[in-house]
Structure 1
Amino acid sequence: MNARRWTAGLLAAVAAVALVGCTSKGQEKACTTSTDGIFECAPDQRSAPPKLAGELLAGGTYDVSQARGQVAVVNFWGSWCPPCRAEADDLEATYQATKGSGVSFLGINVQDSRDKAKAFEEGRVTYPSLFDPSSRLALDLDIPPNTVPATVVLDRDGRIAVVIRRAVTQDELRPIVERIAAEKPASS
């Protein structure tokens, strides 16, 4: 009998977390989506900036609000994820090509061990990554990524402009980042 209660409780908890992860406070519906897993939000449809902060893989802490005034590209990844390996060079190339125009990149490592994540990053990317083994940071987004890999582009005000729910290439990411970087901040 205790096993049934425990199982029922566990299932209820999983369902509650799944529902929280799938709800988007109406934001997802306000944005346009394409058939290729890209959600784009017009400037007047973007909600308040998400809170994304935590411990860096390399040590120390980071809060994405430190990037306010810049476009922030946030990539959710895991060392265990083959598409993450495939997109790492494209992300780094986009970072190198756009960082001079006020663009920052941040990785968020999920469902991983610190050692494996550090080994994965070494020699692949030069931008920092938060360590989020429980994948809790994604729940703070109005449009949750729902997949790994996923890339979220925040505008200069820190609001979600684009969510890409799949691996991305430099040829498709760079024009998106450059377009968002060319926008005037709402706060100006």
Structure 2
Amino acid sequence: MKKAAVVLVLLVLTGWAIYDAFLQKNNFEKKIGGMSNSQAVEGLEVGNRAPDFALRTLNGEEVRLSDFRGKKVIVNIWATWCPPCRAEMPDMQAFYEEYKNQGVEIVAVNLTKSEKNSEQVTRFIETYGITFTVVLDEKGEVSQRYQAQAIPTSYVIDSEGIIRNKMIGPMSKDWMMEQMKQID
């Protein structure tokens, strides 16, 4: 009788431990999925709040990443001299044209410090017909903060400012569309 009671207690405790572990995993996933901006830790990993930054456009207008809170944002770190960056720009523009009225923004952070001059950036934007937001990282602070070791490097950020994915290398329109579907 004592052995049966001990076995029963062990079974109940094992079942409870499994249930508790499953419940905690689900609660963690729900917490990440529904994490508000104030609860998330700032960082560069998926599930972190994206670090805010302020940079200027070619027109001198200050743009902050936090200005786009409430929209899904792709932060793309690039340079005019970078072949993979050049390759992804037509897809980025096509994607932006299709999604800009659906609460989606692209913030292209140019590594201005690595350019010959800002005129190069202006010519590039005109040549490629870029209409999304382009900001100048003149001191390299944002590219350093976002750990862009290779370019292009892109971060997919949800409407709450939470990083949902990171891509090193050129993005395709299909990849960007899939990212937006995943964070709906």
What's the TM-score, normalizing by structure 1?
A: 0.68
Residue equivalent to 1:69: 70
Given that 1:76 and 1:109 are in contact with CA atoms closer than 8 Å, whether structure 2 keeps it comes out as yes
Q: Is the contact between residue 137 and residue 143 of structure 2 (CA under 8 Å) also seen in structure 1?
A: no
Counterpart for residue 82 of structure 2: 81
- 1:118 matches 2:122: yes
SS class of match (1:168): coil
Equivalent residue number for residue 171 of structure 2: 168
Amino acid at match of 2:173: Q
Distance 1:128 1:58 in 2: 11
Q: CA deviation at 1:123?
A: 4.1
Structure 1, unmatched stretches of 5+, are: 1-41, 183-188
CA contact (8 A) 2:76 2:109 kept: yes
Match of 1:101 in 2: 102
How far off its partner does 1:116 sit?
Answer: 0.7
Question: What stretches of structure 2 of length at least 5 have no aligned partner?
Answer: 1-31, 36-45
Residues 177, 146 of structure 1: CA spacing in aligned structure 2 closer, same or farther, 3 A cutoff?
A: farther
User: Counterpart amino acid of 1:47?
Assistant: N
State the percentage of identical aligned residues.
Answer: 26
| TM-score normalised by L of structure 2 | 0.69
Corresponding residue for residue 15 of structure 1: none
Deviations 1:104-151 (A, max 9, x none): 11110002221111111114210121111332103333xx33211111
Structure 1 segments (4+ residues) deviating >2 Å: 42-45, 138-141
Tell me how large the CA RMSD over aligned residues is. Answer: 1.7
Q: Which has the larger share of helix? A: 2
- Give the partner amino acid of 1:136: E
Quote the offset at 1:177 in angstroms.
Answer: 2.2
Q: Which amino acid aligns with 1:153?
A: V
